[in-house]
Amino acid sequence: MLFNAFQCFGSATIFSQFVCSGHHASRPPSKKFESGSGLKQNIGITGQVLSSLGRVIQIHKLEDLSFTYADQEGVYYKSKGDNKVEIDYETYRINTFMDEYLSVQ
């Protein structure tokens, strides 16, 4: 099964979700990590997509690094000093994507 990373845009945890999801678990143990198993190809594709998303964010300057971003029980905030403003999920993900992406490399 080819992993379609485009359906998961905005998540730097795509790689770990894929590896932990069991997409490759249905193969017999001897076939799980063979070069022909597709797992290496899926990991490569996922890495390329994440890298491309990172470039899009950097090129178009979508990140605003002047704020600190937080998720508190499903409510997303950006803050600077004592000023805390609620934001939507998309803004939160764009601004936290690069940190997460770099942490899995």
Tens of pLDDT, residue by residue over 22-38, are 444 444 555 555 556 68
CB 79 within 8 A of CB 71: no
Ranges of the chain with pLDDT below 70:
1-37
Domain extent for 70 = 5-104
- In the chain, the number of structural domains is 1
The C-alpha atoms of residue 32 and residue 95 are separated, in whole angstroms, by: 35
pTM exceeds 0.85: no
- Which of 93, 68, 91 minimizes the C-alpha distance to 81? 68
- The confidence score (pLDDT) of residue 5 equals 35
CB 57 within 8 A of CB 69: no
